[in-house]
Amino acid sequence: MNNISWEPSNPDHTYQSLARKIPSHPGAGPVKRRIKKIEQAYREFAADCVIHFSPWGCRQFTNSQPFIRRELRKKESSFLALQGDYIDRGSFPAGQIRPRVESFMEILAEQAG
């Protein structure tokens, strides 16, 4: 979701540029647009899996996970959903996330043969 997918800002028209940029972000708007962007990145990077991070309290990202998971499973992609905090490093649950990522990596290694 950090891919730059919007037109460059025009420094002479800052507010107009922001007004166009914000709704064009794949995280805003219908989940279908987010799924399309994830699938595009999946193909572009020849990925083996998707790790979907959602910030706590962000309903838009958290609530979309089941839909994204379902679409990626149709393409036989492995999917891991994680939640945490983008802002406060002190509240990032590394002790919970690390074992989940390690288990996920073991599953991917087994699938690879």
What's the pLDDT tens digit per position in 5-20?
Answer: 778 888 999 999 888 8
The whole-number pLDDT of residue 108 equals: 92
The domain defined by 11-112 folds into: Rossmann fold (3.40.50)
What's the pLDDT tens digit per position in 14-39?
Answer: 999 888 888 888 878 888 988 998 89
Query: Which has the closest alpha carbon to 98: 84, 79, 111?
Result: 84
> What DSSP element (H or E) covers 22?
helix 14-24
Q: Two tokens at 96? A: 């919970």
pTM of the model: 0.75
Whether the predicted pLDDT of 91 surpasses 80: no
Domain spans in the chain, listed from the N-terminal domain onward: 11-112
The mean pLDDT value of the chain amounts to: 85
